[in-house]
């Protein structure tokens, strides 16, 4: 109804000339537009309302004696309507309303009330850059500086409006230049100081904020920043910020102040001789000029305005719909082979399970490893099953016994996702207490209790520790002149003095393998944690971010600039400098020349503060994110601060509860060989370092980010290691695979380890085949063996994603275990696994690339056998399987994600992509198999760390050459996935609020296998025999599962464990069903029954 009378009112206003009629119309318009939604305002605008109001303003103002009874309500309406009219400024300019309003404002400089209304209209006019520039030409800024006065309690509404108009005007670069040229920067700084100094009660925060916004807009110009610094702006804002940082009422002022300081801090190059990696090597067709860094799909989490002080916990991800592939032909077409078809026959040798006779299969597993490696291997500690973890806690060590597949074991089914988490409550720690400190508070804590390691704290005196000497014992060079036996003797003595029992790890075998690992820099040293091993620690809570930590760091950076006298600026470690560095006796000692290590330079800034620079990927100048280095020479109870100043990603989970990882040699020798999350006062923010355009071929300079964190080390003069995430080296993988091969019973498990290809760096890329041996050499059993479907899993194409290797470790250990589900999986599938697609990158401490500086997960479209051998042959193997009618049921590439929490899958769907892009062409008639959603839905029910809500099935143009998309499109694998695991932890489910430990990541790998098992049970092709065996398994598991949970003290309440999924039917053709039934202790398990 109100909208219907707007049009007549607008017409009446245009045709009215007497005062009473105009006032009445303005009154009615004001009432109508003050209620309801903006629809009325937009309707009025569409009917010429803006023009009518502006024309009335001009006509009234140009009378001999302007009538303010009309002008004041008219200004109020103009302010309201103008904000919604995108063309308001242009209309005002054409009707000469800008000049009229400026004239009225000048006439009312001494009449505050009338001036206020004029300023409201000017604020709307100035909100458009073009009209703002015109106002500047006509003297608007000079007028406003007559209104802006030093501190006063009079006419503060008018002064506030004037600051807002001026801030809007200065969004125009021409106005900002005019302000610089006329010296307004100094004037604004003086006004800011005056108002800030007098407004102790924060009564006029928005006037102070308005003045700062003016400076912020001027500082967008280089000349503005120079004028600001010349006027001592950095010193003034730094000084004024110190007395209000903790005042929440001053938040609007502090936020803008910090933005200005960041804007005006002089940009400087990194303290490196060159942006190129410290490591380089000749490779085929080496890339000479690196392309600019391309953001990956995980980089699209919006960091907001990069200059904003980011202390919020918001981590919403911005979807980039313009990257979606909407070409139906590209989405649905299947490209031809990228190589001659005859080349595929070479991969037949990698599928011997399809052709070997039974006797050949059996004889192959009688062969051991070569003698040089096996003579040092110690396999007494190998478990017969995966080290099952009850939500992050270690299984009782007594169950780790080799062989004994007939021993009663608990299935992985005991670990499926619960409705709520209770077990972790006791393990959650205060964010201010480090995990190592908490272990000390409880004697040897969980790890030592599980490992039954004696307490050495009483037998070993602190004075007897020589951590550097211990490290040196393991830092023996690799050359042939050094006897492996000498190295092993040293390690053997350490192991004898400090016994340990880490499943699937052998230090002697590790060192034998490390000797064969080839690195660009020819590493001569092994890192202690990699040799000694790691036991999963109890789960740790996410760090609660301390409010204001980022602004404190920004101000510290400013203090370095304006008060440089206390800066030491001493280089204490550098890969670029071969000569002896300055005296390092009074500082920490750093080292990174070992496998997967990455630290390029360390600079002592203050006594206990260090700037660190990480190395770019080999043969490149970007992708600085992964770090792993040794630090020693620390003092106890001292807070050391580390600033990694050349990170590249625009945001990080370090802003949302994630901590780096730490490994202490002394803790390891005390029986706690554990990587733990550590650090406090952590934040990740954009700094003032940048790469010059000249260094990037004219491309605008790249910005860098700082990761800053503080650490209090647990011991005096310890040797510790700090890393971005839990390290997992190539040598660790090769050691793990050999131990796994020795752990299996070759009569029951077919475990074949072979070389997919040699990498550019000369390292073998392993390919693993896992299945069950045929029951006998009968024709039927051999036929069943050879007709099993394939599952293909790959990982670690990006070297810095070490979490993917821990997930893969869990997958491998589960598949060779005695778990009944693992047995059924082996009997029904053949698993082809490439656990590390980029060995060279992992070895040399890269974050993302190969030795050629290429992202190998962007090379799947047309890989080259000589340039990207691992991708070429991985794709070739998949081509071969497809060519013989054995395309995999599931293909999954394990990755790590630095921007999101939880674990989730990316898949491929034509329809979902077109729907998301709002493209309706052809979707109605398009048929698509929706089974790609089944596995993630299953994992959402099974795995505590997995969430369906983060899964995506969109096909992006920029991902066309990734493994996921190529395997889906070219091989026709509808269930082709990337599985992403957070570096941080979970914000949902049983692990909500917890950071991932290696235990949770390994558990996810096992849960993925369980998901494959359930997926097969739900398949229409599932055999009746498998359904029957699955039902029998679930029934048999109930009693063992109940006993195990009681023994583990996990049944904290009668309904603690609830398996929350029900599969009403696995097979449409079968009457077999699974449902939930309750046992006497309240435990809900899956129990089979015949419908």
Concatenated DSSP letters for 1012-1032?
A: HHHHHHHSTT--HHHHHHHHH
Q: Which two tokens mark 1008?
A: 């993925």
Task: Report CA-CA distances (Å) from 78 to 19, 30, 43, 89, 1038.
Answer: 18, 10, 15, 11, 75
Q: Which two tokens mark 891?
A: 């293909």
CB-based burial, 590-602: b 16+ in 10 Å, e otherwise: bbbbbbbbbbbbb
Report the sign of the C-alpha dihedral through residues 570, 560, 633, 710, in that order.
negative
Q: Which residues contact 684 (CB under 8 A, 6 or more apart)?
A: 647, 651, 652, 654, 655, 705, 706, 707, 708
Estimate to the nearest angstrom the gap between the alpha carbon of 866 and the chain centroid. Answer: 32
Q: Is 385 helix (H, G, I), strand (E, B) or coil?
A: coil
Q: Which two tokens mark 12?
A: 């009446």
* Rounded distance between C-alpha atoms, residue 865 and residue 339, angstroms: 10
* Rounded distance between C-alpha atoms, residue 214 and residue 480, angstroms: 69
What angle, 0 to 180 degrees and rounded to 10, lies between the N-to-C axes of helices 129-137 and 140-147? 80
Q: Which helix (H) or strand (E) holds 842?
A: helix 839-843
User: Considering 980, 1002, 1016, 1037, which one is annotated as catalytic?
Assistant: 980
Angle at 10 between CA 5 and CA 15, to 5 degrees: 125
What angle, 0 to 180 degrees and rounded to 10, lies between the N-to-C axes of helices 19-33 and 68-82? 30
> Is residue 980 among the annotated active site residues?
yes
Nearest CA to 395 among 375, 370, 414?
414
* Rounded distance between C-alpha atoms, residue 36 and residue 1013, angstroms: 57
* Rounded distance between C-alpha atoms, residue 590 and residue 572, angstroms: 7
Q: Which residues contact 42 (CB under 8 A, 6 or more apart)?
A: 84
Q: Is 952 helix (H, G, I), strand (E, B) or coil?
A: strand
* Rounded distance between C-alpha atoms, residue 661 and residue 456, angstroms: 24
In this structure, are residues 730 and 517 in contact, taking their beta carbons and an 8 Å threshold? yes
In this structure, are residues 301 and 900 in contact, taking their beta carbons and an 8 Å threshold? yes
* Residue 245: Cβ-neighbour burial (10 angstroms; 0-12, 13-18, 19+): middle
Task: Report CA-CA distances (Å) from 635 to 332, 461, 586, 587, 934.
Answer: 62, 17, 11, 10, 54
What angle, 0 to 180 degrees and rounded to 10, lies between the N-to-C axes of helices 49-61 and 97-107? 40
Nearest CA to 1087 among 1044, 1043, 1035?
1035
Q: Which two tokens mark 1040?
A: 């063992």
Q: Which residues contact 331 (CB under 8 A, 6 or more apart)?
A: 325, 910, 913, 914, 955, 969
Place of tokens 């694998």: 973
Sheet containing strand 609-613, strands side by side: 570-574, 601-606, 609-613, 639-647, 703-712, 680-690
Nearest CA to 766 among 807, 804, 735?
735
Helix, strand, coil content of the chain in percent (nearest 5): 45, 15, 45
Q: Give the number of other CB atoms < 10 A from CB of residue 462.
A: 11
Residues involved in catalysis: 980
């Amino acid at each position: 109804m109100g909208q219907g009378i707007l049009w007549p009112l607008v017409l009446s206003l245009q045709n009215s000339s007497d005062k009473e009629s105009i006032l009445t119309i303005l009154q009615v318009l004001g009432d109508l537009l003050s209620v309801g939604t903006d629809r009325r305002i937009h309707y009025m605008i569409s009917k010429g309302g803006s023009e009518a109001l502006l024309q009335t303003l001009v006509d009234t103002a140009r009378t001999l004696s302007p009538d303010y009874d009309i002008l004041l309500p008219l200004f109020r309406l103009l302010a309201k309507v103008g904000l919604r009219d995108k063309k308001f400024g242009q209309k005002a300019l054409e009707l000469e309303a800008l000049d009229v309003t400026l004239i009225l404002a000048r006439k009312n400089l001494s009449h505050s009330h009338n001036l206020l209304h004029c300023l409201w209209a000017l604020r709307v006019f100035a909100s458009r850059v073009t009209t703002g520039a015109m106002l500047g030409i006509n003297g608007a800024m000079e007028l406003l500086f007559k209104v802006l006065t030093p501190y006063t309690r009079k006419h503060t509404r008018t002064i506030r409006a004037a600051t807002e108009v001026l801030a809007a005007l200065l969004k125009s670069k021409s106005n900002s230049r005019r302000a610089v040229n006329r010296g307004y920067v100094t004037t604004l700084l003086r006004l800011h100081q005056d108002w800030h100094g007098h407004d102790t009660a924060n009564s006029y925060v928005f006037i102070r904020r308005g003045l700062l916004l003016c400076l912020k807009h001027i500082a967008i110009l280089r000349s503005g920043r120079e004028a600001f610094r010349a006027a001592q702006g950095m010193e003034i804002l730094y000084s004024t910020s110190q007395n209000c940082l903790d005042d929440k009422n001053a938040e609007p002022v502090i936020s803008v102040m910090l933005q200005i300081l960041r804007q005006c801090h002089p940009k400087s190059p990194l303290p490196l001789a060159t942006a190129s990696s410290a490591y380089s090597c000749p490779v085929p067709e080496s890339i000479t000029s690196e392309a600019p860094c391309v953001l990956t799909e995980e980089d699209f989490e919006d960091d907001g305005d990069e200059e904003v002080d980011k202390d919020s916990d918001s981590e919403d991800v911005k979807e980039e719909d313009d990257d979606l592939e909407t070409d139906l032909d590209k989405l649905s077409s299947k490209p031809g082979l990228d190589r001659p078809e005859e080349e595929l026959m070479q991969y037949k040798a990698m599928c011997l399970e399809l052709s070997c006779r039974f006797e050949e299969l059996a004889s192959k597993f009688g062969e051991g490893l070569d003698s040089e490696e096996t003579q040092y291997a110690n396999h007494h500690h190998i478990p017969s099953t995966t080290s099952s973890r009850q939500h992050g806690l270690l299984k009782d060590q007594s169950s780790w016994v080799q062989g004994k597949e007939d021993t009663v074991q608990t299935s992985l089914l005991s670990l499926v996702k619960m409705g709520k988490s209770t077990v972790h409550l006791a393990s959650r720690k205060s964010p201010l207490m480090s995990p190592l400190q908490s272990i000390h508070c409880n004697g040897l804590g969980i790890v030592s209790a599980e490992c039954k390691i004696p307490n050495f704290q009483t037998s070993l005196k602190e004075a007897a520790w020589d951590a550097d000497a211990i490290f040196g014992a393991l830092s023996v060079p690799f050359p042939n002149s050094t006897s492996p036996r000498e190295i092993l003797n040293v390690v053997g003595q350490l192991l004898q003095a400090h016994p340990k029992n880490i499943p699937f790890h052998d230090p002697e075998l590790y060192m034998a393998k490390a000797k064969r690992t080839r690195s660009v820099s020819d590493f001569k040293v092994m890192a202690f944690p990699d040799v000694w091993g790691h036991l999963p620690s109890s789960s740790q809570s996410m760090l609660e971010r301390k409010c204001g930590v980022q602004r404190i760091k920004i101000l510290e950076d400013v203090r370095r600039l304006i008060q440089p006298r206390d800066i030491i600026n001493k280089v204490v470690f550098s890969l670029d400098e071969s000569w002896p560095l300055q005296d390092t006796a009074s500082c920490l000692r750093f080292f990174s020349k070992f496998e997967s290590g990455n630290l390029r330079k360390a600079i002592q800034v203050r006594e206990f503060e260090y700037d660190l620079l990480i190395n770019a990927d080999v043969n490149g100048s970007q992708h600085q994110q992964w770090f792993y280095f040794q630090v020693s020479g620390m003092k106890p109870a001292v807070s050391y601060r580390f600033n990694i100043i050349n990170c590249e990603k625009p945001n990080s989970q370090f802003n949302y509860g994630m901590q780096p990882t730490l490994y202490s040699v002394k803790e390891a020798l005390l029986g706690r060989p554990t990587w733990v999350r550590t650090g406090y006062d952590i934040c990740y923010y954009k700094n003032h370092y940048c790469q010059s355009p000249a260094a990037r071929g004219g491309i605008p300079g790249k910005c860098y980010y700082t990761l800053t964190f503080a650490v209090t080390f647990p011991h005096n003069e310890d040797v510790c290691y700090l890393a971005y995430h839990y390290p997992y080296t190539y040598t660790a993988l090769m050691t793990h695979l050999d131990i796994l091969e020795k752990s299996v019973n070759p009569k029951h498990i077919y475990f074949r380890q072979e070389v997919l290809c040699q990498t550019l760096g000369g390292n073998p890329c392993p390919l693993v085949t896992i299945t069950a041996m045929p029951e006998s050499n009968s024709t039927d059993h051999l036929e069943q063996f050879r007709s099993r479907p394939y599952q293909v899993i790959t990982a670690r194409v990006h070297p810095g994603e070490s979490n993917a290797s821990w997930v893969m470790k869990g997958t491998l250990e589960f598949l060779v275990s005695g778990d009944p589900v693992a047995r059924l999986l082996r009997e029904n599938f053949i698993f082809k696994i490439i656990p590390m697609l980029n060995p060279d990158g992992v070895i040399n401490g890269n974050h993302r690339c190969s030795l050629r500086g290429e992202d190998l997960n962007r090379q799947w479209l047309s890989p080259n056998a000589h340039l990207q051998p691992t991708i070429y042959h991985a794709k070739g193997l998949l081509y071969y399987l497809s060519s013989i009618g054995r395309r995999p049921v599931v293909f999954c590439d394990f990755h790590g994600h630095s921007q999101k929490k939880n674990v989730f899958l990316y898949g491929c769907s034509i329809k979902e992509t077109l729907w998301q892009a709002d493209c309706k062409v052809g979707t109605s008639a398009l048929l698509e198999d929706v089974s790609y959603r089944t596995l993630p839905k299953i994992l959402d029910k099974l795995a505590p760390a997995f969430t369906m809500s983060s899964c995506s099935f969109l096909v992006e143009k920029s991902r066309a050459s990734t493994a996921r998309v190529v395997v889906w499109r070219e091989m026709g694998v509808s269930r082709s996935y990337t599985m992403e695991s957070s570096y941080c932890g979970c914000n949902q489910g049983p692990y909500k609020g917890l950071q991932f430990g290696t235990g949770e990541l390994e558990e996810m790998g096992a849960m993925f296998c369980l998901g494959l098992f359930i997926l097969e049970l739900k398949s229409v092709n599932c055999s009746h025999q498998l359904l029957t065996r699955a039902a029998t398994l679930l029934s048999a598991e109930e009693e063992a599962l109940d006993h195990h949970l009681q023994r583990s003290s996990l049944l904290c309440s009668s309904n603690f464990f609830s398996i929350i999924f029900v599969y009403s039917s696995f097979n449409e053709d079968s009457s077999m069903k699974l449902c939930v039934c309750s046992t006497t202790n309240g435990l809900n398990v899956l129990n089979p029954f015949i419908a």
